[in-house]
Amino acid sequence: MSIDPATFEFYQSGAPHFSLSSAISHSRHLDHFLDQLEPRARVLELGCGAGRDAVRIIERGFDLDATDGVPAMVEKANERHDVAARRMRFDELDAKAEYDAVWAHACLLHCPRGELPDVLARIHRALKPGGYHYASYKLGDGEGRDLLGRLHNFPSPQWLFDTYDAAGFKTVAHEIFAGKASDGTQRDWLALTVRKQ
């Protein structure tokens, strides 16, 4: 699996913009997620982008492994925040029982539907028993592109619940909320916290 070319180019060329706009604040779900973890827990971040959440995870005292599949985003995260981010695509995750938690804010939504089960299996394998995973998705009724050309899986809530259940996760919490996307459209999102069974 490789990153969708149009989606990759959007983030590769737009990294300078994202390194400024995303520096405002960390995700509103992050602190609650981190509150569930033991002190100094080992956290893998997928799709770290410009590093806004990575900074907060480190500030909270956790052992962070920040990753992103787009080289320019990794460079900006390290340049702006010095979070020791490294380049890794979702399908390159091959760790086994290494992490207490996997944080994936607004990134797995770009994973094609047909490839998401494999990625979730990799996340499940990378987690220690009982480990936590967070991800957020833009909801919809089928895979497609937004007005900026980025690929999204646009799942329904039930499709996500079923897919995570099949991957061996138990849903701990979920929230559906309205959000405005980068392309200016309004769409409902699902924030999902699950635990490795």
pLDDT by 10s per residue, the chain, length 197: 668 999 999 999 988 877 665 446 899 999 999 999 999 999 999 999 999 999 999 999 999 999 999 999 999 999 999 999 999 999 999 999 999 999 999 999 999 999 999 999 999 999 999 999 999 999 999 999 999 999 999 999 999 999 999 999 999 999 999 987 778 889 999 999 999 99
Give the Cβ contact number of residue 133 at 10 Å.
Answer: 27
**What are the extents of the domains in the chain?**
5-196
CATH class for the domain made up of 5-196: alpha beta
Kindly state the tokens that stand for 42: 């080992």
How far are the Cα atoms of 81, 140, 192 from residue 20, in angstroms, in the given order?
Answer: 12, 29, 27
Q: Indicate the angle between helix axes 116-126 and 157-166, nearest 10 degrees.
A: 50
Q: What are phi and psi of 129, to 5 degrees?
A: -55, 130
Kindly state the tokens that stand for 156: 């329904």
Q: What are phi and psi of 109, to 5 degrees?
A: -65, -15
Closest Cα partner for 190 from 159, 150, 149, 166? 159
Encode burial over 103-114: b for 16+ CB neighbours within 10 A, e otherwise: bbbbbbbbbeee
Say if residues 93 and 62 touch (Cβ distance below 8 Å): no
